[in-house]
Chain A
Amino acid sequence: AQSVTQLGSHVSVSEGALVLLRCNYSSSVPPYLFWYVQYPNQGLQLLLKYTTGATLVKGINGFEAEFKKSETSFHLTKPSAHMSDAAEYFCAVSDLLTGGGNKLTFGTGTQLKVEL
């Protein structure tokens, strides 16, 4: 069965500092990987996704993530944090063993706090 582990349920950074949110996955077949963001009282918004091809994926709002098969990781980064980045971030995985469609397995989430 596939799974996702997000290290650190809470991460705090200073405005302008590097954001690094960690995600490790487990899948017996090539995975599809996703990062979503959730603002208070809202649904999830897709930041970026990896399917195949280039391992460095660029997303919205200046975020990017790198798929590293050897490390089974898909960490999310942003060079310079902004106050508006404060939210909860979810890593998710899907693969062909789960069948078609949008069945995603989510990590437990990382709450990002951005301080002045």
Chain B
Amino acid sequence: KAGVTQTPRYLIKTRGQQVTLSCSPISGHRSVSWYQQTPGQGLQFLFEYFSETQRNKGNFPGRFSGRQFSNSRSEMNVSTLELGDSALYLCASSRWGDRATNEKLFFGSGTQLSVL
């Protein structure tokens, strides 16, 4: 069974540009979450999608957005990139997004975004 796949693995952009990151969840998983990981701020929750609807959102500016397609694949977009957006962006998927059960959350290897 394939794991969570994130593309691209590495990305270099310049300030002011926009970027789109892609995440394919494990087959059968309907919940997709996004996290930002930086050395200074650690791991921070961006948002979660379930059945094409945003179910939860973290404390990030509106420049960060996402969406989920009918096949559960998800994309996140960052517009008007800033130097501080340089980070590892991790995608995670689970079947129902029910952390109260034994359901597991599976992470991808991430997309390393560098903003110059």
Contacts and interface: CB of A to CB of B under 8 A. Distances in A.
Interface in B36-86: 42-45, 48, 50, 55-56, 58
A101 B107 contact: no
Given A100-B56, A101-B56, A51 B107 contact: no
Contacts of A36: 107
B109 A103 contact: no
Interface string A27-45: 0000010001000011111
Contacts, number: 73
A77 interface: no
B105 interface: yes
A94 B110 CA distance: 22
A17 B33 CA distance: 36
A60 to B, nearest CB: 11
A31 B14 CA distance: 40
B107 A100 contact: no
Interface of B: 4, 31, 33, 42-45, 48, 50, 55-56, 58, 90, 92, 94, 97-102, 104-110
